[in-house]
Amino acid sequence: MRWYRLVCIFVLGCVCGWGLEPASLYEEFVNPERIGAVFTSESEVKAFLQTNKTALGYYQVGVFYMYHAYGVLKVMKVSSKDARRLTREAINVFEKAEKLESREPMLYSMLGGAYLFSSQWGSVMDKMRNGRKGVFYNDKAVLMAPENLRIRENRLRNYLHLPPEYFPNIYQSIPEDADKLLAGVEKYQKEYGEYAREVRALAYYGKGLVAFYKKDRVQARENLQKVEKNTSLYDRAQELLKRVGD
């Protein structure tokens, strides 16, 4: 079974690169600098959980753990070997938050990302089960907030890593999210600033990838060639272009 290592690169982009006002406190704490200032150690996190039983509190801990699992934050003294444990603990607190607050789309977006990240471990059945849960929660977040560009970007970045033979819904979801992001960048050019280049690169790469999966070489080439130099996906786009051929 072909399976990608889900490296969830979305946190390197959408949460810290652009200036749209957060729609809620849940979106505010997706910013690594913001959540990185809440806790100073894992022991502090454990103490916090003993007294804070709110949905937002659980969510903050989940984001804090996941950003360490992704390697984005370095506040806690953990290594890459701790990623699986941190992801499991993040899912646990996200689910506790969800039981208390079922109306927050960013919570579902982050929970979905955690499940997808966790699908790199375990048996084939574990990977499929966690992958499906991740897709379910990402899709639920988008259904709850279809115009939220952060959530659209999260889902698109997550789905780039999914094998289409097991998750055929990405044929529709990725182009849909990409078109939303391209329209959003055009509408909010001032707010996006320089980060607009990264979002456009993500959108065009996603559209090109789906076209490649569909064996549409013309559309694949057309979109991949629009991924600008000096963006995080440029090298990957060039590699895929070689596979597309002339």
- pLDDT, one tens digit per residue, over 36-73 is 999 999 999 999 999 999 999 999 999 999 999 999 89
pLDDT score for 4 = 42
Kindly indicate whether the domain formed by 1-167 is annotated with CATH number 3.30.70.1560. no
pLDDT score for 191 = 87
Q: Which residues contact 167 (CB under 8 A, 6 or more apart)?
A: 131, 135, 159
Give me the residue spans of the domains in the chain: 1-167, 170-246
Confidence band of 10 (pLDDT split at 50, 70, 90): very low
C-beta separation of 39 from 64 below 8 A: yes
pLDDT at 17 over 90: no
CB burial readout 44-61, b (16+ within 10 A) else e: ebeebeeeeeebbbbbbb
At 12, is the secondary structure helix, strand, or coil? helix
pLDDT, tens only, 200-217? 999 999 999 999 999 999
Q: CA–CA separation, 106 vs 109, rounded Å?
A: 5
Share above pLDDT 90 across residues of the chain, in percent, rounded to a whole number: 81
pLDDT, tens only, 226-243? 999 999 999 999 999 999
Q: CA–CA separation, 39 vs 92, rounded Å?
A: 18
pLDDT score for 23 = 73
C-beta separation of 36 from 75 below 8 A: yes
Q: What is the mean pLDDT of residues 109-132?
A: 95
Q: Which pair of tokens denotes residue 5?
A: 């290592």
C-beta separation of 4 from 159 below 8 A: no
Q: Which pair of tokens denotes residue 68?
A: 């360490």
